[in-house]
Chains A and B, each alone.
Chain A
């Protein structure tokens, strides 16, 4: 096995070269190569952290905006409902007032009409009494009876009050 042939002078020289090459490699990596990688990784980590922070801030801002929006919506809703309620009340009041006015006018008209009807009836009733008295007097005359005009009128009146209603 050539690996165990330690009498070979190349074995020793190979190890000397190994130490030199390994040392140079170690120095180059430690001094130049690895710090560069470290700085790139650090920059990336910082960038990611900054971006994450920005995203978190934006999220907080959006949440605040959302809350504001919700509050504004709620306030607007309440306002609108209050406006609707007052409008409805006013409308109802107005309607009630109008209805009352109409009722009053109608009542007045009804009362007037009733009065007119009563007057007409009274007039008619008055005319009827005189016609009835005259008729009664005429009938009495036909029957050959005579009675004082006052008594006939009183009797007609009595009959009228008894017969009416």
Chain B
């Protein structure tokens, strides 16, 4: 789009390409999928290898695995209630998948799969299908009452019902765009400032001194991006929990 100047190529990092040679090309296995596999492998390694000692007093890795488990478990129970326990594996998988995707994306040469709207929208769509299915399965026809709260004056129906439907349908959109936009913005900024470092460094004698400034900004940005990476995974998970609460309890 706009930033595609001669020297600054901030969006090339989001280009899809196949990996694993001809086999990957044949099945359309992209580097995005490769990082998904890496993230999944790391998650499974953390949860299985980390929990291997199964010690009463956990070591470092086991503490991390237990902290992740407890974090999402508390979130699900606090937001959805005790009956939300059966959604725990889904929310956990979602949270860890997004968190590891965001974090892996911060490594040099890594591909940030959460920076693709098609991916975040697919995840959000899974959540949307899940909450709709859950509320229809639990409440049947009463699910339609979701769009018109009990006790509201009937003449408000022409206003309330479309508003409720639009807000319900916009959930996956807001969910996916929030994550996608945050990741893209962060990575574009990182790339732009990193390019500045290189460009300024080439400015003769004073170059190395001037280029320290964008470098310092990038250092700060990386710290900020770590925060965003965690925060966006958290937001995605907690919004999923809130939607699940609505699906289970209908408002």
Using a CB–CB distance below 8 Å, which chain A residues touch chain B?
1-4, 6, 8-19, 21-22, 24-26, 28-30, 32-34, 36-41, 43-44, 47
Q: In the bound complex, do residue B36 and residue A21 qualify as a contact, i.e. CB atoms below 8 Å apart?
A: yes
- Partner among A3, A9, A41, A43 whose Cβ is within 8 Å of the Cβ of B14: A3
A11 CB, min distance to chain B CBs, angstroms? 6
Give A73 to B92 CA distance when docked, in angstroms: 61
Q: In the bound complex, do residue B32 and residue A14 qualify as a contact, i.e. CB atoms below 8 Å apart?
A: yes
Can you show 23 pairs from A to B with CB atoms below 8 A apart?
A1-B1, A13-B27, A13-B28, A14-B16, A14-B30, A17-B28, A18-B32, A18-B36, A18-B113, A22-B97, A22-B123, A22-B126, A25-B44, A26-B93, A29-B44, A30-B89, A34-B88, A36-B51, A37-B47, A39-B54, A40-B54, A44-B56, A47-B56
Using a CB–CB distance below 8 Å, which chain B residues touch chain A?
1, 11-12, 14-18, 27-30, 32-33, 36-37, 40, 43-44, 47-48, 51, 54, 56, 62, 65-66, 69-70, 88-90, 92-93, 96-97, 113, 115-119, 122-123, 126, 180, 184
When C-beta atoms are compared, the residue in chain B nearest to A1 turns out to be: B1
Q: In the bound complex, do residue A13 and residue B47 qualify as a contact, i.e. CB atoms below 8 Å apart?
A: no
Q: In the bound complex, do residue B44 and residue A28 qualify as a contact, i.e. CB atoms below 8 Å apart?
A: yes
- Partner among A16, A34, A43 whose Cβ is within 8 Å of the Cβ of B92: A34
Known A32-B48, A33-B44; judge A40-B66 contact (CB<8 A).
yes
Q: In the bound complex, do residue B28 and residue A9 qualify as a contact, i.e. CB atoms below 8 Å apart?
A: yes
- Inside 8 A of A40's CB, which chain B residues have their CB? 51, 54, 62, 66
Q: In the bound complex, do residue B36 and residue A41 qualify as a contact, i.e. CB atoms below 8 Å apart?
A: no
- Inside 8 A of B54's CB, which chain A residues have their CB? 36, 39-40, 43
B107 CB, min distance to chain A CBs, angstroms? 19
A104 CB, min distance to chain B CBs, angstroms? 87
Give A137 to B70 CA distance when docked, in angstroms: 143
- Partner among B11, B29, B47, B97 whose Cβ is within 8 Å of the Cβ of A2: B11
Q: In the bound complex, do residue A25 and residue B90 qualify as a contact, i.e. CB atoms below 8 Å apart?
A: no
Q: In the bound complex, do residue A25 and residue B33 qualify as a contact, i.e. CB atoms below 8 Å apart?
A: no
B14 CB, min distance to chain A CBs, angstroms? 5
Residue among A2, A15, A25 with the highest chain B CB neighbour number at 10 A: A25
B26 CB, min distance to chain A CBs, angstroms? 10
A30 CB, min distance to chain B CBs, angstroms? 4
Q: In the bound complex, do residue A25 and residue B97 qualify as a contact, i.e. CB atoms below 8 Å apart?
A: yes
Further contacts, 8 of them, CB under 8 A, given A6-B118, A40-B54, A40-B62: A1-B1, A8-B16, A14-B30, A15-B122, A18-B32, A29-B89, A29-B92, A41-B70
Q: In the bound complex, do residue A34 and residue B69 qualify as a contact, i.e. CB atoms below 8 Å apart?
A: yes
When C-beta atoms are compared, the residue in chain A nearest to B115 turns out to be: A3
Q: In the bound complex, do residue A2 and residue B16 qualify as a contact, i.e. CB atoms below 8 Å apart?
A: yes
A38 CB, min distance to chain B CBs, angstroms? 8
Give A40 to B56 CA distance when docked, in angstroms: 8
- Inside 8 A of A36's CB, which chain B residues have their CB? 47-48, 51, 54
- Inside 8 A of A22's CB, which chain B residues have their CB? 36, 93, 97, 123, 126
- Inside 8 A of B17's CB, which chain A residues have their CB? 10
Give A4 to B37 CA distance when docked, in angstroms: 23
